[in-house]
Amino acid sequence: MTDYLLNAALGYLLGSLPWGLIIGYLWLGRDIRESGSGKTGTTNVLRTAGKVPAVLVMVLDIAKGTAPALVGRYIFDSNAVAAVGAGASIVGHVWPVFAGFRGGRGVASTYGGILGLAPAISVLFPVIGAVLVATTRYVSFMSVVGVPICAAIICGLAIAGETDPAFAWYALFATALVEYKHIPNIRRLLNGTEPRIGQGGDRPATG
């Protein structure tokens, strides 16, 4: 139990590092949560600050999920401990203690967890995401549809005995949290008001 608590704490604290907020201040001199979606994730950084800071934020947010997964696997020698740590990093990213509990939507950290837990499976995520974004130009559509697709693949592999069941539980938890945080996006997608790539960065934050 101690291993689970320690890695969960590590994951949450790493997830709470608000890289979007930090890089937004360094790049623009202001809080990026005041514009666009009001979030600190890669998509809002792309909308408000541009490609270079967005890539930096994406890499750092992915690392937040990967690090506790690797610690769980190779230091605590437990896939279940790794999954708990990775899940906690998503919680930290969404509700960061270092940024007033106002963070992102957890997609990059979710991918980071998959990358650390099951590297071979993780290659599917960017491929599926790229196809969805290229065909729709909605980043949110990639998140809303792509994350469940990847989760279904992981769960199927777990049922078939090809991967650890702990990874499936992680995928289900991550999917539920990501979908919950994307409810406003889902509504805008349905009524046709969701901004496409490169749009919406100059509007006041809407959430």
If you write DSSP's letter for every residue of the chain in order, what string do you get?
-HHHHHHHHHHHHHHT--HHHHHHHHHHSS-GGGBTTS--SHHHHHHHT-HHHHHHHHHHHHHHHHHHHHHHHHTS--HHHHHHHHHHHHHHHHS-GGGTT----SHHHHHHHHHHH-HHHHTHHHHHHHHHHHHH--HHHIIIIIHHHHHHHHHHHHHTTSS-HHHHHHHHHHHHHHHHHTHHHHHHHHHT----TT-STTSBP--
**What's the pLDDT band for 32 if we cut at 50, 70, 90?**
confident
Among 91, 200, 192, which Cα is nearest to 141's? 192
Q: Please report which confidence band the pLDDT of residue 178 belongs to, taking 50, 70 and 90 as the band edges.
A: very high
What per-residue confidence (pLDDT) applies to 43? Answer: 82
Compute the mean pLDDT over every residue in the chain, rounded to the nearest whole number: 90
Is the Cα torsion angle 5, 11, 16, 17 positive or negative in sign? positive
pLDDT digits (tens, 9 = 90+) for 121-160: 888 888 988 898 888 888 888 889 989 999 999 999 999 9
Residue 207 clears pLDDT 60, i.e. is over it: no
- Give the distance from CA 11 to its chain's centroid: 13
What does the pLDDT average to over 93-111?
A: 93
As given in the structure block, the two tokens for residue 195 are 């901004």
Residue 164 predicted with pLDDT over 60: yes
Torsion of CA 89, 95, 96, 102, to 10 degrees: 140
Q: What is the pTM (predicted TM-score) of this model?
A: 0.90
Tell me: pLDDT of 201 over 90. no
Structure tokens at 92: 């930290």
Predicted confidence (pLDDT) at residue 204 exceeds the cutoff of 70: no
Task: Compute the chain's Rg from CA coordinates.
Answer: 16
pLDDT > 70: percent of the chain: 95
For position 28, what pLDDT does the model report? 87
User: What's the whole-number mean pLDDT along residues 14-31?
Assistant: 91
Residue 48 is predicted with a pLDDT of 84
| DSSP bridge partners of 35 | 204
- pLDDT at residue number 110: 95
Distance CA 100, CA 112 (A): 23
